[in-house]
Amino acid sequence: MTLDNDVRLELYRQFLEDGTAPSPADVAATLGESPEDVTEAYRRLAAGRVIVLRAGTAKILMANPLSAVPTRFRAVMSADGRSYFGNCIWDALGIPAMLGQPARIEARCGDCGERMSLEAGADGGVAGEGVVHFGIPAARWWDDIVDT
């Protein structure tokens, strides 16, 4: 496997285990690589749209579907109560899909802010009320992924 793929797998593992986005140094320590090499791997992963870094830094903002910052979309895993923020409703629903475990999705209505709760299965099923709005056409999603 390439360094970039090793870094990708390890950063997701640490993100899921700790609930916070790991720094290049965190990932480097586990992989036995230098922080500089892992920083470069982060940049290549970002250039390849695998992760999103905070502008001008090597700090992870998004490792989709996970968000490094609190959002109005959170997945609470049914098995152990661990929770992770998603970048949007698509990503929040992607967390149980990625982990192969059911979760409760806690969200807020984009209009009135009222709390909403959904039950998402590991198989792509969902129970609960609501509709989804995508604001930006698919061809332009990566023009500004943070706003999409």
Residue 50 touches another protein, criterion: CB under 8 A: yes
Q: Number of residues in contact with another protein, rule: CB under 8 A?
A: 50
* Of 111, 31, 30, 19, the residue nearest 66 (C-alpha): 19
Distance from C-alpha of 16 to C-alpha of 20, rounded to nearest angstrom: 8
Q: Does an H or E element contain 104, and which?
A: strand 103-108
CB of 43 within 8 A of CB of 64?
no
Residue 12 touches another protein, criterion: CB under 8 A: yes
Residue 136 touches another protein, criterion: CB under 8 A: yes
DSSP for residue 93:
H
Distance from C-alpha of 139 to C-alpha of 148, rounded to nearest angstrom: 11
CB of 80 to another protein, least distance (A): 17
Chosen residue from 65, 67, 84, 85 binding another protein by CB under 8 A: 65
Residue 79 touches another protein, criterion: CB under 8 A: no
Give the contact letters, 81-120, x = binds to another protein (CB under 8 A), - = no: -------xxxxxxxx-xxxx------xxxxxx-x-x-x-x
CB of 29 to another protein, least distance (A): 21
